[in-house]
Amino acid sequence: MARRHIGNSLVAVVVTGIWCAVMLIPVDWPLTSYLPETAVFPLGPVSADVQPGQTFAAAEPFDTLAAPVRVGGPLDSAVVLGTRLRLDGPRGSTVAESANTTVVSTDRRFEMVLFRFQETQSADRTYFVEFDIPRGTRWPVLLAAVGGDTNPEGQLFMQGIRAHEGQDLVYQLLRRQSIGARLPAWWVSNPGSIAVGIGLLVLVHLTSFAALHTLLPPARRRLLTVSILGLVPPVLLAGVYFVLLFVVL
């Protein structure tokens, strides 16, 4: 009996540790939605002489910008790309440059490429992102664009000149954070969803405990109590995790 008690306690500790790690490991959380590839059209080829850019408003701090890119040429042909952030527009001051990223030609229509900035960029500002394509790049580069003014606060530019009204580059803003660090922002925007999700998981947990407690003989009820209650922390952490993934996002 004592060995079983110790074993169940260890299981509870291990599971709790795993979920704590899940809560603390940083991941890239999307801050804006992303259009499916079927809704976009290829823009380009773009180059150092035909440099694309896009204005956008950042509602939340971000540290990564993702964009669909297609590299022409044979499979595995590589091109090095980067991005530069300016304030307000194509003639604004530069506030950040992303690390260069190598993009390889594949058989897919577009590859989602992450451009990471060294520092987190502030919210509530208007930015202009321009794509840095080295002069003399051997293979053609195409970006994804969309019409219909899907981004009313933004505008596509080509070589610093406004493109057709209502056209925008396709992009997505992300921020690398752990679930624990991200939770306050979601709680502010979706407190009801998170509270309901956690409440339902706790209700299921307690209902299962009550049912098993009723069915088991008295000699095993005390061990059941220790085992079930020891799993409360990981269940709560799992609840937060899945509520964020499937309800908030």
Which pLDDT band, with edges at 50, 70 and 90, does 246 fall under?
A: very low
171 and 187 both lie in a single domain: no
Domain that holds residue 166: 28-177
Contacts of 81 (CB under 8 A, 6+ apart): 69, 100, 101, 102, 103, 113, 115, 131, 132, 133, 141
**172-229 per-position pLDDT tens digit:** 999 998 877 777 776 666 676 667 666 766 666 667 666 655 665 665 555 555 555 5
Q: What average pLDDT does the segment 65-72 reach? A: 94
Question: What pLDDT is attached to residue 36?
Answer: 63
22 and 34 both lie in a single domain: no
Q: Could you give the number of structural domains in the chain?
A: 2
More confident residue, 169 or 178: 169
More confident residue, 243 or 103: 103
108 and 42 both lie in a single domain: yes
Q: How many whole angstroms separate alpha carbon 172 and alpha carbon 129? A: 12
pTM: 0.72
223 and 167 both lie in a single domain: no
Instruction: Supply 105's token pair.
Output: 């030609």
Residue 126, pLDDT above cutoff 70: yes
Burial of 60 (0-12, 13-18, 19+ CB in 10 A): middle
244 and 190 both lie in a single domain: yes
In terms of DSSP bridges, do strands 141-146 and 41-46 run parallel, antiparallel, or are they unpaired? antiparallel
100 and 35 both lie in a single domain: yes
Q: What average pLDDT does the segment 11-33 reach? A: 71
Q: How many whole angstroms separate alpha carbon 141 and alpha carbon 162? A: 20
35 and 71 both lie in a single domain: yes
Question: What pLDDT is attached to residue 122?
Answer: 92
34 and 99 both lie in a single domain: yes
45 and 161 both lie in a single domain: yes
42 and 121 both lie in a single domain: yes
Question: What pLDDT is attached to residue 219?
Answer: 54
Question: What pLDDT is attached to residue 240?
Answer: 59
Specify the residue for token string 């939770």: 183
CB 83 within 8 A of CB 65: yes
Which percentage of the chain shows pLDDT scores above 70?
A: 64
Residue 20, pLDDT above cutoff 90: no
More confident residue, 222 or 163: 163
